[in-house]
Amino acid sequence: MRKPASIQKGDTIAVVAPSFGIVEEEHAILAQAIKNLEKKGYHVDVLENVFKSDGLGISTSPESCAQELMEAYVNPQYQAIISASGGELMCETLSHMDFVQLKNASPKWFCGFSDNTNMTFTLNTLCDVMSIYGPHILDFALMNKCTREALGMMQGTCHHTSDYPYYSLDDFAKKPKVITAYHHGKKVDYVQMKGVLFGGCLDVLANLVGTRFDQVKEKDEHHVIWFLEACDLNPLGIRRALWQLKEAGWFKHISGLMLGRPLSSMGVTMLGVDEYNAVLDIFQDLDIPILFDCDFGHIGPTMPIISGANAKVTYEERLKIEYYYK
């Protein structure tokens, strides 16, 4: 797995819209995000699809979205790419992309999450390139722990990250949260796992199974830490999606599993299935540690993750990820 070159002061970051763009009401937030990145010494080039909304379930036509993303990736003028937003139909953008050309290009950081799993994950599996499952451009309007660490990953200065003790990043209304660890089907107080980090939004990953963009089994990694989070899936949908990935052979070499807080399923039970037994029952035959309600995904606060990197994940009251790459 190739690590993109670290960005330097004076480099240019491209903002693209391979899924949703940015609506007029968000332009002030975008301006603040750009200002914050410029204060750090970077130029920001917002590409034209970011301001479009003429597509069906996407910023503009999938062909145009793919062309913009491809051009930003292969253009040496840009040293990193941050997605404008998540969305719904970036899978259609994939149909018009040339992953052979992307694989032959000089690797560069791509940062985004949710629907951008279509890019962060395929960069790993099709192009052997690391990516950042992390904030979109509007998130950089606040330079908090999440965005500082994501920028540090692109700069090559952030080699480890940890979870957050509270739901709120502010000093106000601090509500404690809990990460739950399981091993051998029982709750435990300590977990350690090592391997290559693969994952993203489960809604998107289940959609990729069996398509020409599914080359997970070809990676044949012997130690994979899967990090998964769900957006629209209810508990039954989570269970079906995990069953699908397992039957497709995606978990053949799994060494551990981290699950983010599921947006539509947290605290929900359907026909006796909740966010926990939806997972535990599917993986009951595998001797792996499982962490629930981790800090990534659609329910903040969320930590950025270097997808495709070798890492050690430790949980003992707090969750910590340490990266090992040259």
What's the pLDDT tens digit per position in 95-147? 999 999 999 999 999 999 999 999 999 999 999 999 999 999 999 999 999 99
pTM above 0.85, yes or no: yes
- 19 with 75: CB under 8 angstroms? no
DSSP string, 185-237: TEEES-EEEEEEEEEEEHHHHHHHTTSTT--HHHH--SSEEEEEE-SS--HHH
What's the pLDDT tens digit per position in 227-283? 999 999 999 999 999 999 999 999 999 999 999 999 999 999 999 999 999 999 999
132 CB contacts (<8 Å, ≥6 apart)? 109, 110, 111, 112, 120, 150, 153, 154, 304, 305, 306, 307
Question: Residue type at 275?
Answer: E
Q: Which tokens sit at 302?
A: 């969320």
Please state, rounded to an integer, the average pLDDT across all residues of the chain. 94
Strands (E), 99-169: 109-112, 131-133, 160-162
Report the alpha-carbon distance of residue 251 to residue 268 in Å, rounded.
26
CATH 3.40.50.10740 location in the chain: 12-158
Fold for 12-158, please state it. Answer: Rossmann fold (3.40.50)
pLDDT band at 220 (very low <50, low <70, confident <90, very high): low
Report the alpha-carbon distance of residue 182 to residue 189 in Å, rounded.
8
CB-neighbour burial class of residue 288 (10 A; exposed 0-12, middle 13-18, buried 19+): middle
Q: Class of 162-324 per CATH?
A: alpha beta
Give the three-class secondary structure for 12: strand
Report the alpha-carbon distance of residue 215 to residue 125 in Å, rounded.
6
CATH 3.50.30.60 location in the chain: 162-324
pLDDT band at 167 (very low <50, low <70, confident <90, very high): confident
- 58 with 86: CB under 8 angstroms? no
Report the alpha-carbon distance of residue 89 to residue 61 in Å, rounded.
10
Report the alpha-carbon distance of residue 204 to residue 264 in Å, rounded.
15
